[in-house]
């Protein structure tokens, strides 16, 4: 029961977090600087999430393999590679290094 | 559409008009002209839906390992039904994982707070999309809101830049969101069924790799590079902070780093 309450509570709260800005920000007159800030905020949030998830993956497996895979993924992303390509090539780098470390 | 048709057929003007053919004739001619236009509009709508789904499909495939990880963890925490309901209501893998883990370890209140702090970034995604959706109808903003998450934010920003037609933007965004939801929850369900046979430790690498693809197109601008570098560095340093607070700090400092220097170019 507590799991249901937690999941539904976070779901409802998340919906509010999603809906409110869509309804409110659209009616506000923002300065160019505020608009630019909002444009950068999504980028910053995803960058932070990348760092946290990479750190978590490194703790659970091999730090060397994670750093190499994320490095390869960053280079591909900078060249506008598709997500699928980044995951496949980054995953292959990770798998190769994990194998090498294990052997 | 009707207005365009009446411009082609001057119904109320002198000899050139078809008003002399009588009402029935007028309606027949108008409907003959409207029908193909409706058909074209209908085809355009489906083309938009397909385009939206196609935008999201590679992301859904790339998210498969992440969704499997979530499915495996959810199978151990709470059960299948609550897990699947959570994929649609929370609609965010990281927050979902943290919520179910915290609910088992620390109770409901901590779990809800943890999940909401991790999902606090949705505020900035929605606020960012709201800039582009000022002229969109209210129903769309309500319908689109549940789908706002990292990949759909990226799709929304891309559509705003590349697709000037608001109706086409709506169709493409909703199609992309539904494609992500269906694909992600189906893969989570597979992860729940397969369970412990999958090593989640090795699949976790898929998460940062998927997210990298979302920031990739922005890295050409120096200001955006500063944002990414600072936010990632702060994210690493604050990784041990209470759930979600480090992400918020990293987001704020990353945004500040992207501000152009006074009097300088961005």
Where do we find the tokens 């729940």?
Answer: B192
CB–CB of B126 and A7 under 8 A?
no
- The alpha carbon of residue A103 is apart from the nearest alpha carbon of chain B, in Å, by 16
Instruction: List C-alpha distances in Å: B24 to A41, B13, B31, B43, B94.
Output: 59, 17, 11, 28, 62
Please determine, for residue B214, whether its predicted confidence score (pLDDT) is greater than 60.
yes
The CA radius of gyration of chain A, in Å to the nearest whole number, is 19
Interface of B with A in 38-77 (CB under 8 A): 58-59, 61-62, 65, 77
At B2-11, the pLDDT tens digits run 444 434 433 4
Q: Which of A59-68, B33-42, B199-208 has the highest mean pLDDT?
A: A59-68
Please determine, for residue A69, whether its predicted confidence score (pLDDT) is greater than 90.
yes
Nearest residue of chain A to residue B74 (CA atoms): A3
Of B220 and B227, the structure prediction assigns the larger pLDDT to: B227
Mean pLDDT of A32-56: 86
pLDDT of residue B38: 62
Using an 8 Å CB-CB cutoff, list chain A residues near B247: 45, 48-49, 52
Which of A51-65, B35-49, B144-158, B188-202 shows the lowest mean pLDDT across its residues? B35-49
Task: Please tell me the distance from the alpha carbon of residue B230 to that of residue A36, in angstroms, as a whole number.
Answer: 17
Using an 8 Å CB-CB cutoff, list chain B residues near A29: none
Using an 8 Å CB-CB cutoff, list chain B residues near A57: 201, 204-205, 207-208
At B46-73, the pLDDT tens digits run 899 999 999 888 888 878 888 888 888 8
Task: Please tell me the distance from the alpha carbon of residue B112 to that of residue B101, in angstroms, as a whole number.
Answer: 11
Mean pLDDT, chain A, rounded, equals 89
Mean pLDDT of A73-98: 91
Please determine, for residue B17, whether its predicted confidence score (pLDDT) is greater than 70.
no
Please determine, for residue B148, whether its predicted confidence score (pLDDT) is greater than 90.
yes
């Amino acid at each position: 029961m507590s799991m249901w309450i937690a999941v539904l509570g976070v779901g409802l709260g998340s919906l509010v977090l999603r809906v409110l800005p869509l309804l409110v920000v659209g009616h506000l007159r923002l300065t160019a600087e505020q608009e630019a800030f909002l444009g950068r905020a999504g980028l910053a949030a995803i960058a932070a999430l990348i760092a946290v998830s990479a750190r978590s993956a490194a703790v659970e497996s091999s730090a060397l393999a994670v750093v190499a895979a994320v490095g390869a993924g960053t280079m591909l992303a900078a060249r506008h590679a598709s997500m699928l390509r980044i995951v496949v090539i980054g995953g292959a780098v990770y798998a190769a290094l994990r194998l090498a470390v294990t052997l | 559409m009707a207005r365009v048709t009446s411009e082609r057929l001057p119904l109320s003007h002198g000899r050139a008009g078809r008003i002399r053919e009588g009402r029935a004739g007028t309606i027949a001619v108008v409907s003959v002209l409207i029908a193909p236009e409706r058909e074209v509009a209908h085809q355009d709508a489906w083309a938009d839906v397909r385009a939206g789904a196609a935008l999201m499909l590679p992301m859904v495939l790339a998210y498969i390992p992440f969704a499997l990880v979530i499915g495996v963890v959810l199978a151990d925490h709470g059960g299948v039904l609550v897990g699947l309901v959570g994929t649609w209501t929370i609609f965010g893998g990281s927050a979902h994982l943290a919520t179910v883990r915290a609910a088992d370890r620390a109770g409901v209140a901590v779990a809800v707070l943890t999940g909401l702090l991790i999902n606090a970034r949705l505020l900035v995604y929605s606020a960012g999309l709201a800039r582009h959706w000022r002229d969109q109808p209210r129903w769309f903003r309500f319908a689109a809101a549940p789908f706002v998450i990292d990949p759909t934010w990226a799709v929304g920003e891309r559509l705003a830049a590349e697709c000037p037609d608001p109706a086409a933007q709506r169709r493409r965004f909703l199609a992309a969101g539904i494609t992500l939801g269906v694909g992600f929850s189906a893969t989570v369900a597979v992860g729940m069924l397969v369970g412990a046979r999958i090593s989640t430790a090795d699949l976790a690498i898929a998460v940062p790799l998927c997210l990298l693809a979302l920031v990739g197109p922005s890295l050409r601008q120096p200001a955006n590079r500063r944002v990414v570098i600072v936010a990632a560095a702060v994210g690493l340093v604050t990784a041990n902070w209470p759930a979600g607070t480090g992400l918020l700090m990293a987001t704020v400092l990353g945004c500040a780093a992207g501000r152009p220097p006074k009097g300088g170019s961005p």
